[in-house]
Amino acid sequence: MGQSTAANDALAQAFVQFSLDCGVLKFGEFKTKAGRMSPYFFNAGLFDDGAKLGQLANFYAQRLLKSGIEFDMIFGPAYKGIPLGAAVSMELARLGKNVPFAYNRKEAKDHGEGGSLVGAPLKGRVLIVDDVMSAGTAARESIALIQAAGATPHAVAIALDRQEMATEKQADGSTKDVPYSAVQYVREQVGLQVCAIAELNDLLAYLTAHAGGDMGEHLTRTQAYRDRYGVT
């Protein structure tokens, strides 16, 4: 399945259930950064205690080890990527793959060791760990930072691939849908491998398997959103 998940993949289905149980994945009406009204919302900030974060890290680690992606170190972009990258590096070490970890500050420090980078020196093939990829902006910033340090941005690991069209800002300040997702852009245009624990197709598979009651309505609305904004 490359660096994407297969719909109804057991690990992805377990992750969808876990995200629902934690209240991280919710259904309703939510406005996205792109201004779309989405029938679901994924807020990784609600993996908010030690047990949840530890289990999340295990999902990332399992997906990474299954993917076959080779990397020499982990980078966690500020802010959400910092605890995610740290937790994933700890879980990988527990599973026998111990690699260096670094993260960045949003603002460079002008005292002490200075600079915007903290942790291990950036070198070799770097894996970026983040929660989701909406526009790919954060990924591009991380890529530039890693390259400036003389290392190689190699892959990105995210929790959920929304599999929807990205947007581009126009000269007049408006935004326009483009026929590819942020993940596809990073994978095909930037040349990085992308590894997601789950994707929207996995959520649809979960809703299909649990289509009684409210889940049936969530399935209808989520499928309609996929039909309108989705990418293949």
Which of 33, 66, 109, 176 is an active site residue? 109
Q: Is 154 a catalytic residue?
A: no
Side chain identity, residue 182: A
Peptide bond into 79 cis (omega under 30): yes
Catalytic residue check, 111? yes
Sequential DSSP letters for the chain: -TTSPPTT-HHHHHHHHHHHHTTSEEEEEEE-TTS-EEEEEE-GGG--SHHHHHHHHHHHHHHHHHHT---SEEEE-TTTHHHHHHHHHHHHHHTT----EEEEEEEEE-STT-EEEEESPP-SEEEEE-SB-SSSHHHHHHHHHHHHTT-EEEEEEEEEE--B--EEE-TTS-EEE-SS-HHHIIIIII--EEEEEEEHHHHHHHHHHT-STHHHHHHHHHHHHHHHHB--
Residue 19 phi, psi dihedral angles, 5° rounding: -65, -40
Catalytic residues: 109, 111
